[in-house]
Amino acid sequence: MKTKKKKKATTPDAYEFLNRELSWLEFNQRVLLEACNPKVPLLERLKFLSITASNLDEFCMVRVGGLKMLVAANIRRTDPSGMTPRQQLVAVTRRMRKMVADQYELLDVLAKELAKHGFVMQESVEALSDEQRKWLECEFMDNIFPLLSPVGVGEERPFRPAGLLLHCVVTLVPAAPDEAPRMIFIPLGPKLPRFIRIPDAAGRAVFIPIEQVVAWQIAAVVEGQPVLECVPFRVTRNADIELREDLSSDLLAGMQELLDDRRETACIRLEIHRRASRTLVDAMTKQLGLDRADVYSVDGPVELRSLMSITQTDGFENLRDEPWEPVPSPDVDIKESMFPQIAQGDILLVHPYDSFDPVVKFISDAADDPQVLAIKQVLYRTASQSAIVEALIRAAQIGKHVTVLIELKARFDEARNISQARRLELAGAHVVYGVRSLKTHAKICLVVRREQQGIVRYVHFGTGNYNEKTATLYSDIGLFTCRNDFGADASDVFNAITGYSQPQSLRRLEVAPFSIRSIILALIANEAERARNNERAEITMKMNSLSDKGIIAALYSASNAGVKIKLNIRGICCLKPGVSGMSENITVVSIVDYYLEHARIFRFRNGGLDDLYISSADMMTRNLDKRIELMIPVLAPGPRKKLLATLDVYFTDCVKARTLCADGEYRPVAARGKEQPIRAQEELYRRAKAAASLKEQTKPTMLEPHRKRNPQTDVKL
Amino acid sequence: MKKNSNTAEKAVAPTTIAVIDIGATFIRMLIAEKRDAKEAYILEKAVQSVPIGRDIIVSRRISNATVEQCAQILKSFRKLLDEYGIPLGSVTAVATPTLNVADNSAVFLDRLANTSHIAFRLLDPGQIGYYYHLAFRRLGKGKDESNHDKGEAVVLEVGGLTCNMLCRKEGEIRFVQTYSLGSLRMRQQMEQGDFRPRQLIALADGRTHEIAEQLRNNVDDVKSIKLFLMGREMRFAGARLRPDKNNAVELDPAAGVVSVTVDELNTLLKQIEKSSTEEIVREWRVSYPDAELIAPALSIAISVARIVGLKSVYISSLSFCHGLLEETVDGTPWTNTMRKHVLRVARATGRKYQHDMNHAEQVAKLSLQLFDLLQEEHGCTQRHRLILEVAALLHDIGAFVSAHSHHIHTMYLIRNTEFAGLSSEEIELIAVVARYHRKAMPKASHPEYSALPPEDRLVVSKLAAILRVADALDRVHDQSLGKIRFKLDDASLVCIPSRRVATSAEQVALTEKGDLFEVMYGRHCYLYDPE
């Protein structure tokens, strides 16, 4: 009894944590709730639905795959919440089934509502007019049939359907009554459209899923053999294979093997249309090496993430949110070189409200500026046709020293990253393929420029990837600076990750896996100490996930000391807030809205000094111990003011915010009084626009004639 | 306005410079920028552990694997140098004298030069102390610096194979010394099981007596000296004892210097002794090879401080690399500081051997006068000028041993004098020039002469020719000729004294000792006699 009490004071007990997987599923549930939200326009809701499906696919591949491996290896070690892998797998599967049922129920509702607005998702070919069917038959024969390649399968003819790819399975009437029915798989490859838009006399947008068309024309596909049934299905394969770096002498070759492997790994889930007969499902599970428990029968289109493609359909603007166009930051004149502007003082951008253009411009300027000696950058996830990568290639080609660390271990982006790495290398850049046994997740770009008064280092730090496509969808913070100490630290970081030097002590930056954990713990302890001395003590943190046991324990202890802790956590949160004697001073809110919340911002009151940081790291064990991450103090008054104001807005939201309760449930935040309820993303957009228009108004009224540009003289010294 | 434009004109374009040093346990590079004549602003520092010292202890040679590792490190350093466009020829690259112990040190440095196109200079022990002296000047640029320049300061660098000591008084070098005692050597003994880890201090005590003895004999008040500990392991310890965001792992160069008590160091040592190397790697966030050396290095430092009777010491973030940078900033390796220091040592040496100081100064003065007059002809550098000056100051010290063949005694006394900052080649040059101040002209049969590289042989002849003339002009050691003007034409050198005195002795001497001058410069020497 006594010992137990003692233990409680140091390490929290199991019931004091929420399970990480279930917490993630709750996040997906919140996205699903946005899809259910009648206040959200219909096509946006359809988009959210498709996001939940694609999220769930990834979760299944990585997390369920991982759990299954642990169960298969008979590992019984419990997680912080006290659950064994098997218990987690059972709970997760139950939760997923409920979620899948909710998804299809919602799809029905949305389809009915959308149909009222002339956006018709047709379930079957029968519902089409004769004319439409005639058109569809031609379409099938011309554009679909030639792309189909059915494969007969059986015990002696194993065929492994590709993961996440939609297939149809056909069973043929056996030639003799004592024979088993023959099975044919038809992959519906990525070259085929998932939904086919049918011309409509009434001007409606009518879509039909491809598997329905194939089923309708199945006779043509199997050349008239009698068909028992034709059912769409999809398998999911385990993707939780950590790269065996040590075994692979050539990392690049290793990565390609891994990608090939991913196609070959074990099935963990079968989704199949409910109309499949029991015999067929049994045959399928046997064929794929699955249990009945891994089968998800769905009543509707198998695979919902492709719904995203039809949400882009032209027209129907009344069914969408009015797009929030990124606003040019008032702190940046995009027509001028970035360097003198950064030299004027640090610049902080809040994306996507502040346009991402200055970041692309920064790298592009660096490539073209004759005074720039070197560009060094970490790339984690890049866009497919990335202006940033193009600029780096251009810089390398004209002989600048370009060093790029491309993280080949960035999950699901490996293939793209390999091809980008090859192109950069061909251009003459020095490419590093990540760091042994650590994923490089830091977002940093360093430009070394020779100026009249000497070498000046310009650095961009970010919380999000150098990906101009996702930068319009993710909310992130970026910071430009040319402060000496930050520049010197940036050089040291690159020298360490390129292996030029051993990691050294840094002046301003904190780096995982070396110092972020200890500095965060120290900062939390410092607040706790102040609270114990009856000082005001506050911690405000915004991040995507909080699951590290050590950090959570420190927050509990700070809460007990009296520190007011406000957390804004979009996704996983294993901390149980509001439990008396443990976390009554902690509140956790989550915002799921138009943009994906992605910024990491940390504020520690520190007696009123307000230590402010931005970071690439979430408070997850893997980020703190197994990745190279950066935590950057924000020091300049302007950026600090802007960042503090931004952080505050996230805690005023009462439209999209939900509060985490001690039971793991998320409940809507109640609006305060009669005030106009604040929606954080809308408010941030409004502020960005207001700042930009203020700048516009105060601009001198001058007409700008187009002048011939001369790159030599345009460069400012 | 005008003033502004003037200063703008004066300001030189900043240049990037780099220094690389190979030590017993690591290779390090500093890239800096010369922004004005005073300071080198450090842009980047890269450092990697190498097992050179370990190899040397084990087999007296640097293993092929280590050679390869060093070559790879230099390759990566080259990439950084390229980024700043620093020409490889202008990189100051040095190797620690301990490398000399390795049988294959020459081949090793050749291999590095071949891979990296950077030529390494093997330093002499005395030079390390000198560079620490220069590095110490950087502290002078900090705020509280005047304190450190006052009184007596002892810099003790605890290295892998050797300890280097520098004693400064009022900002000048007092003496430098190298001891063959180091963290790697101690570690090696630990691994061989000669003693238990807890006995480290006792082991160090047995070795540091020599250091303490020297300190007691050579400083004014051993109890009031300031002891500055330098070296990588010391910086780790400093950062550990004075944790600051800015010195997460190693004492930040910007921090300069911290003061710690010997008791604190001792507590730290005890903590380390209780931990495994793995724990130190994790907690201190240092590399494995570094982690192993912290305790031995600490025990040496603690032992010295205790034997001398100090309660507190300083740990400095400076390394002798910073001294190399200082030298580069000054433009020429033959800085004024260096010249002043070398001359001070020369004069002290002269006094020690009780030479005729006035004569020595007169000969030195006349030698420099002739050197400068003949500058266009001999084309020698400022470095040679200093060699001549020292040779002139010390040419007669051999008389301390015996008047007979005193030039030979002079030669070996100079050879065995420690001039911090001068390489052994340079000291040899001084010794040989001084040796030829009288008697035979340089001959191929003289081993000291024939052992020199051809270009140095030529220098010896050029400088000795001048020295002999200067010496002849004060034949009677009474400076009776006073100031002398020289007139140089195509066939003769005429020496015009300012005083009218009997000059017969000098005239005879000049005829006799002007021999080498006539050979080297093609001119006969006359003493102008107004009578």
Provide the CATH number for the domain around residue B225.
3.30.420.150
What fold, for A512-695?
Endonuclease; Chain A (3.30.870)
Vertex B359: Cα angle to B353 and B364 (nearest 5): 95
The yes-or-no verdict on residue A13 having pLDDT over 80 is no
DSSP string, B192-230: TTSS-GGGHHHHHHHHHHHHHHHHHHHSS-GGGPEEEEE
Query: What is the b/e burial string over A506-530, where b = at least 16 CB atoms within 10 angstroms of the residue's CB?
Result: bbbbbbbbbbbbebbeebbebbbeb
Contacts of A495 in chain B (CB under 8 A): 44, 46, 80
CA B58 from centre of chain: 28
User: Residue A347 and residue A636: Cα distance in Å, rounded?
Assistant: 9
pLDDT digits (tens, 9 = 90+) for A142-159: 999 999 888 888 766 677
Q: Which residues of A are catalytic?
A: 441
Shortest Cα–Cα distance, B243 to chain A (Å): 11
User: Residue B80 in contact with residue B20, Cβ under 8 Å?
Assistant: no
Task: Mean pLDDT check: name the lowest of A487-501, A601-615, B155-169.
Answer: B155-169
How many structural domains comprise chain B? 3
B-contacting residues in A 316-355 (Cβ below 8 Å):
none
The yes-or-no verdict on residue A713 having pLDDT over 70 is no
The yes-or-no verdict on residue A401 having pLDDT over 50 is yes
Whether residue B402 is found in the same domain as residue B322: no
> What's the pLDDT band for B466 if we cut at 50, 70, 90?
very high
Residues whose CB falls within 8 Å of the CB of residue A579, separated by 6 or more in sequence, listed in order: A16, A662
Whether residue B64 is found in the same domain as residue B197: no
User: What are the tokens at A519?
Assistant: 């500095």
Pick the residue of A376, A501, A517, A518 with the most B CBs within 10 A to test the interface with B by mutation: A501
User: What are the tokens at A230?
Assistant: 């034709």
| pLDDT of res. B7 | 41
* CATH, domain A6-121, list 3.40.50.800, 1.10.150.450, 1.10.287.3510, 1.20.58.310: 1.20.58.310
Say which residue the tokens 């970026």 belong to: A478
Q: Where in chain A is the domain with CATH 3.30.870.10?
A: 338-508, 512-695
CB atoms within 10 A of CB B528: 13
DSSP string, A571-629: S-B-B-TT-TTTTTTEEEEEE-SSSEE---EEEE-GGGT-EEEEES--BSHHHHHSEEE
| pLDDT of res. B471 | 92
For B207-233, what is the mean pLDDT? 82
Q: B94 versus B206: which is more confidently predicted?
A: B94
pLDDT digits (tens, 9 = 90+) for A70-81: 887 787 888 888
Is A430 within 8 Å of B14 when comparing Cβ atoms?
Answer: no
Whether residue B172 is found in the same domain as residue B312: yes
Whether residue B315 is found in the same domain as residue B340: no
Residue B291 forms contact with A (CB below 8 Å)? no
Mean pLDDT of chain A: 87
Is B285 within 8 Å of A514 when comparing Cβ atoms?
Answer: yes
Q: A385 versus A292: which is more confidently predicted?
A: A292
Q: Where in chain A is the domain with CATH 1.20.58.310?
A: 6-121
Contacts of A373 in chain B (CB under 8 A): 83-85
Q: Where in chain A is the domain with CATH 3.30.1840.10?
A: 124-241+249-299
Whether residue B62 is found in the same domain as residue B194: no
Question: Is the peptide bond preceding residue A193 cis, with omega within 30 degrees of 0?
Answer: no
| pLDDT of res. B136 | 77
> What's the pLDDT band for A248 if we cut at 50, 70, 90?
very low
| pLDDT of res. B245 | 55
What fold, for A338-508?
Endonuclease; Chain A (3.30.870)
Share of chain A above pLDDT 70, in %: 90
Q: B367 versus A407: which is more confidently predicted?
A: B367
Task: Mean pLDDT check: name the lowest of A290-299, B190-199, B261-270, B392-401.
Answer: B190-199
| pLDDT of res. B148 | 65
Is A374 within 8 Å of B285 when comparing Cβ atoms?
Answer: no
Task: Mean pLDDT check: name the lowest of A539-548, A692-701, B158-167, B251-260.
Answer: B251-260
Residues whose CB falls within 8 Å of the CB of residue A14, separated by 6 or more in sequence, listed in order: A78, A80, A81, A82
Is A501 within 8 Å of B46 when comparing Cβ atoms?
Answer: yes
Pick the residue of B7, B35, B43 with the most A CBs within 10 A to test the interface with A by mutation: B43
Residues whose CB falls within 8 Å of the CB of residue A469, separated by 6 or more in sequence, listed in order: A383, A384
Residue B25 forms contact with A (CB below 8 Å)? no
Is A500 within 8 Å of B248 when comparing Cβ atoms?
Answer: no
The CATH number covering residue B420 comes to: 1.10.3210.10
Q: B273 versus A338: which is more confidently predicted?
A: A338
Residue of B44, B252, B287 lying closest to A495 (CB–CB): B44
| pLDDT of res. A453 | 85
Whether residue B392 is found in the same domain as residue B480: yes
Residue A525 forms contact with B (CB below 8 Å)? no
Structural domain including B22 reads: 2-122
Q: Amino acid identity, residue A506?
A: L
> What's the pLDDT band for B71 if we cut at 50, 70, 90?
very high
> What's the pLDDT band for A240 if we cut at 50, 70, 90?
low
> What's the pLDDT band for A677 if we cut at 50, 70, 90?
confident
Residue B283 forms contact with A (CB below 8 Å)? no
The yes-or-no verdict on residue B374 having pLDDT over 50 is yes
| pLDDT of res. A5 | 40
Last residue in a domain, options B75, B102, B122: B122
Q: What is the DSSP letter of B255?
A: G
Mean pLDDT of chain B: 83
pLDDT digits (tens, 9 = 90+) for B281-309: 877 878 788 888 898 899 899 988 888 88
The yes-or-no verdict on residue A663 having pLDDT over 50 is yes
DSSP string, B40-57: EEEEEEEEEE--HHHHHH
Residue A686 forms contact with B (CB below 8 Å)? no
Whether residue B316 is found in the same domain as residue B350: no
Contacts of A401 in chain B (CB under 8 A): 79, 82-83
| pLDDT of res. A709 | 52
DSSP string, B353-377: TT--HHHHHHHHHHHHHHHHHTHHH
Last residue in a domain, options B122, B146, B181: B122
pLDDT digits (tens, 9 = 90+) for A450-483: 998 889 999 999 999 998 888 888 999 999 999 9
Residue A285's closest CA among A240, A210, A235, A237? A235
DSSP string, B498-525: SS----HHHHHHHHHHTHHHHHHHS-EE
- If phi over 0 gives left and psi between -120 and 50 gives alpha, with beta otherwise, what is residue A676? beta
Task: Mean pLDDT check: name the lowest of A2-16, A548-562, B56-70.
Answer: A2-16
Share of chain A above pLDDT 90, in %: 55
Residue A370's closest CA among A404, A403, A334, A339? A339
Which CATH architecture describes the domain A124-241+249-299?
2-Layer Sandwich (3.30)
Is B49 within 8 Å of A495 when comparing Cβ atoms?
Answer: no
Residue of A373, A505, A514 lying closest to B252 (CB–CB): A505
| pLDDT of res. B22 | 92
Question: Is the peptide bond preceding residue A352 cis, with omega within 30 degrees of 0?
Answer: yes
For A332-342, what is the mean pLDDT? 93
> What's the pLDDT band for A246 if we cut at 50, 70, 90?
very low
pLDDT digits (tens, 9 = 90+) for A525-567: 999 999 999 999 999 999 999 999 999 999 999 999 999 999 9
Contacts of B44 in chain A (CB under 8 A): 488, 491-492, 495
Is A503 within 8 Å of B84 when comparing Cβ atoms?
Answer: no
Whether residue B177 is found in the same domain as residue B283: yes
pTM of the entire predicted model: 0.81
> What's the pLDDT band for B419 if we cut at 50, 70, 90?
confident
Q: What is the DSSP letter of A670?
A: P
Last residue in a domain, options B103, B122, B141: B122
CA distances to A6, A10, A11, A13, A510 from A3, in Å:
5, 11, 12, 13, 37
Is A455 within 8 Å of B285 when comparing Cβ atoms?
Answer: no
Is B249 within 8 Å of A503 when comparing Cβ atoms?
Answer: yes
For A329-342, what is the mean pLDDT? 93
Residue A631 forms contact with B (CB below 8 Å)? no
User: What are the tokens at A592?
Assistant: 């799921």
User: Residue A597 in contact with residue A544, Cβ under 8 Å?
Assistant: yes
| pLDDT of res. A344 | 93
> What's the pLDDT band for B146 if we cut at 50, 70, 90?
very low
> What's the pLDDT band for A141 if we cut at 50, 70, 90?
very high
Shortest Cα–Cα distance, A575 to chain B (Å): 27
Whether residue B320 is found in the same domain as residue B407: no
Contacts of B13 in chain A (CB under 8 A): 452
> What's the pLDDT band for B230 if we cut at 50, 70, 90?
confident
> What's the pLDDT band for A2 if we cut at 50, 70, 90?
very low
Summary count for chain B: helices (H), strands (E): 23, 14
CA distances to A392, A394, A424, A497, A621 from A428, in Å:
10, 10, 7, 19, 37
| pLDDT of res. B1 | 38
Shortest Cα–Cα distance, B86 to chain A (Å): 11
User: Residue B345 in contact with residue B420, Cβ under 8 Å?
Assistant: yes
Residue of B83, B248, B254 lying closest to A374 (CB–CB): B83
Whether residue B189 is found in the same domain as residue B207: yes
Report the chain A residue with the minimal C-alpha distance to residue B289. A502
Contacts of B49 in chain A (CB under 8 A): 502
User: Residue A348 and residue A518: Cα distance in Å, rounded?
Assistant: 26
> What's the pLDDT band for A716 if we cut at 50, 70, 90?
very low
CA distances to B387, B409, B415 from B444, in Å:
22, 20, 20
User: Residue B48 and residue B60: Cα distance in Å, rounded?
Assistant: 22
